[in-house]
Amino acid sequence: MVAASGGVPAFFRPARVIGRSTLAALRMVGGVAVFAVRGVVACFTPRWFPIQLLRQLIAIGFFSLPVVGLTAVFTGAALALNIYTGGGRFNAEQVMPQIVALGITRELGPVLAALMLAGRVSAAIAAEIGAMRATEQIDAMRTLSTDPFRYLVAPRLTAAVLALPLLTAVADIIGVAGGWLVAVRILDFNPTVYVRNTVSFIQGWDIGSGLIKAAVFGFIVALMGCYHGYNAKGGARGVGRATTHAVVSSAILIFASDYLLTTLFTAA
Amino acid sequence: MTDTPKLEWKGVKKRFDTAQVLDGLDLSVPAGRSLVIIGGSGQGKSVTIKVAMGLVRPDAGQVLVDGKDMIGMGGRARRELFSRIGVLFQGAALFDSLNVWENVAFRLINADGVPRKEAKDRAIQALARVRLGPEIANRFPSELSGGMQKRVGLARAVVANPEIIFFDEPTTGLDPITSAAINELIVDQVKDLGCTAVSITHDLASARTIGDEIAMLHGGKIVWRGPPSALDTSDNPYVRQFVDGRPDGPMSAAV
């Protein structure tokens, strides 16, 4: 690759490359922020499209149940085995039910459910809206006096924010059940004692903080899907790129916001 | 009848990166007339109508509808303007996730608040106007041929009785017989509605059939305008090259 001026390869102009990358990153952050504000405004001001919201709740929430459930049960089971083995090194095997419950509700339930949604839902949203952009369907919608932010973006944002906490609640229950299954069937724990220990140890805030995280993650997943799909350019290739960017950026933002929220919650 | 054109572009400029696509475009369409814009690829035909549809914001100039500038209109005024226009997109731009009648009735249900039952009846009436039977109402766009998709797109464009209709390359990708049928439907619909029509096309047969007037766009400006009958007698070098389909002339081929 050769730069236009002076025939100097772009590789040897690090300041220019860094400058351009920084500007592009800032442009994207600004674009996402403006998009998010428009999306939130569309969620809270009429006109609303309840049928679209219902469709998205089913697509995002209901159809994600199997993948979230399977992820949770295996994670809970594996977590139980690991904690039992690790705890055995200092004779703390008996606290395994409490640690499994704490790990699932505060951290793994919301994060894993969100990551599954990033792969399944964010990609699907980006592909669908990107294809609509490429085939002028979004332009057509505007000429039909319908705001695409209200018809396409707001129902997806709302549905993801509502659905992910519910999915996380399901993941919490199934994840703990996965731990229980391993504990009872393999590690000879008493089933009743396991449940009693879990229930008596877990506090409302453990579950609540996980559900708050899940709502934030739901917003991120839907926002990234909508943003990258809505701004897709360049036909089929652009749609493919939008899908990849939606999944990658969702995953990174989920981990980053998880750390920030955990810091906030522990400080509080 | 007033002298105010139904639709007017005044000094419209639009640049994309280094390309000056529209360079002070002046063009007007009287009420009830059908104007066809022809021109080579990449000369700004699509941008011209997208500016008028409010989908692309020009760098300078005005687009007047009934004498009122629509550039910079707020949300409500813009929605009101959109309620007066219909568009047939190049690829029909039907919504994949909705069936045929829901596509046709999209504006009625989602913008005008018409109950679904009434909207469906009106959609089926609009489909009949483009010679499609009610049996296709529940099919999805992917189950239709290209010509049928164009007809559904036309039904969607006329269902709310618009005052202005835009046709973006209405016959592109269709065989000559289907093209002729679409042209005939366009002429019928424009006449029946008494609306103003603006079309862009490369297809001269289509331009001759659906246009009361033809304007030629080159270099971001109108370089010729006249009735369809004058196309073959015009000595304008751009028109001559375009009509004769010669690669050599004032217009360079966009290949």
B253 pLDDT more than 70: no
Looking at beta carbons, which residues of chain A come within 8 Å of B82? Answer: 142-145
Distance between CA atoms of residues B129 and A265, nearest Å: 63
DSSP-derived 3-state class of residue A251: helix
A145 interface with B at CB cutoff 8 Å: yes
For chains A and B, count residue pairs whose Cβ atoms are closer than 8 Å.
56
Chain A residue with the nearest C-alpha to that of B77 = A145
**Is residue A133 within 8 Å of residue A190, measured between CB atoms?**
no
The token pair at B69 is 């500038």
CATH code of the domain covering residue B8: 3.40.50.300
A136 interface with B at CB cutoff 8 Å: yes
Chain A residue with the nearest C-alpha to that of B157 = A144
Residue B185: inside a domain: no
Mean predicted confidence (pLDDT) in B71-100: 89
ipTM here: 0.91
The token pair at A19 is 């400058």
Distance between CA atoms of residues A97 and A199, nearest Å: 10
Distance between CA atoms of residues B222 and B218, nearest Å: 6
Give how far Cα A46 sits from Cα of A88, B90, B111, Å. 58, 31, 12
What would the pLDDT profile of B178-222 be if each residue is shown by its tens digit? 899 899 989 998 999 999 999 999 899 999 999 999 999 999 999
Residue B90: inside a domain: no
Residue B149: inside a domain: no
Write out the DSSP string of chain B. Answer: --SS-SEEEEEEEEEETTEEEEEEEEEEE-TT-EEEEE--TTSSHHHHHHHHTTSS--SEEEEEETTEE-TT--HHHHHHHHTTEEEE-TT----TTS-HHHHHTHHHHHTS---HHHHHHHHHHHHHHTT--GGGTTS-GGGS-HHHHHHHHHHHHHTT--SEEEEESTTTT--HHHHHHHHHHHHHHHHHHT-EEEEE-S-HHHHHHH-SEEEEEETTEEEEEE-GGGTTT---HHHHHHHHT-SSSSSPP--
Residue B100: inside a domain: no
Give the residue from B196, B209, B179, B178 showing the smallest Cα distance to B86.
Answer: B196
* Cα of A137 to nearest chain B Cα, Å: 5
B111–A144: do the CB atoms touch at under 8 Å?
yes
What would the pLDDT profile of A19-61 be if each residue is shown by its tens digit? 989 999 999 999 999 999 999 999 999 999 999 999 999 999 9
The token pair at B217 is 């766009």
B214 interface with A at CB cutoff 8 Å: no
A143 interface with B at CB cutoff 8 Å: yes
Residue B55: inside a domain: yes
* Backbone angles phi and psi of B44, in degrees to 5: 100, 15
B82–A135: do the CB atoms touch at under 8 Å?
no
Length of chain B: 255
**Is residue A162 within 8 Å of residue A57, measured between CB atoms?**
yes
- Smallest Cβ–Cβ distance between A143 and the set B75, B87, B95 belongs to B87
B17 interface with A at CB cutoff 8 Å: no
Mean predicted confidence (pLDDT) in B154-181: 92
Mean predicted confidence (pLDDT) in B113-140: 95
Least-confidence region, from A41-50, A113-122, B65-74, B130-139: B65-74
Confidence of residue B173 (pLDDT cuts 50, 70, 90): confident
For tokens 């506090």, name the residue: A203
Residue B40: inside a domain: yes
What would the pLDDT profile of A175-191 be if each residue is shown by its tens digit? 999 999 999 999 999 99
Q: What is the residue type of A117?
A: L
pLDDT for position A12: 73
Parallel/antiparallel/unpaired status of strands B34-38 and B213-218: parallel
Chain A residue with the nearest C-alpha to that of B50 = A139
A12 DSSP assignment: G
A262 interface with B at CB cutoff 8 Å: no
B83 interface with A at CB cutoff 8 Å: yes
A186 DSSP assignment: T
Mean predicted confidence (pLDDT) in B42-61: 93
Looking at beta carbons, which residues of chain B come within 8 Å of A49? Answer: 110
- Smallest Cβ–Cβ distance between B79 and the set A137, A139, A145 belongs to A145
Distance between CA atoms of residues B199 and B177, nearest Å: 19
Mean predicted confidence (pLDDT) in B122-144: 95
* Residue A91 zone, left/alpha/beta (φ > 0; ψ -120 to 50; rest): left
pLDDT for position A2: 44
Give the DSSP H/E element, type plus range, for residue A30: helix A14-44
B11 interface with A at CB cutoff 8 Å: no
Give the residue from A215, A120, A217, A214 showing the smallest Cα distance to A172.
Answer: A214
pLDDT for position B57: 93
Give how far Cα B164 sits from Cα of A182, B46, B157, Å. 69, 16, 10
pLDDT for position A164: 98
Confidence of residue B137 (pLDDT cuts 50, 70, 90): very high
Give how far Cα B45 sits from Cα of A46, A235, B51, B81, B198, Å. 35, 20, 10, 21, 11
Distance between CA atoms of residues B138 and B102, nearest Å: 8
Low-confidence ranges of chain A (pLDDT < 70): 1-8, 10-11
pLDDT for position A9: 73
Confidence of residue B246 (pLDDT cuts 50, 70, 90): confident
Mean predicted confidence (pLDDT) in B101-118: 96
B93–A135: do the CB atoms touch at under 8 Å?
yes
B82–A151: do the CB atoms touch at under 8 Å?
no
A142–B55: do the CB atoms touch at under 8 Å?
yes
B89–A132: do the CB atoms touch at under 8 Å?
no
Q: What is the residue type of A74?
A: F
Q: How many domains does chain B have?
A: 1
pLDDT for position B79: 79
The token pair at A3 is 């730069």
A143–B111: do the CB atoms touch at under 8 Å?
no
pLDDT for position B206: 93
pLDDT for position B254: 52
A108 interface with B at CB cutoff 8 Å: no
Residue B199: inside a domain: yes
Residue B58: inside a domain: yes
* Cα of A128 to nearest chain B Cα, Å: 10
Domain that holds residue B241: 1-71+194-255
Distance between CA atoms of residues B199 and B165, nearest Å: 8
B55 interface with A at CB cutoff 8 Å: yes
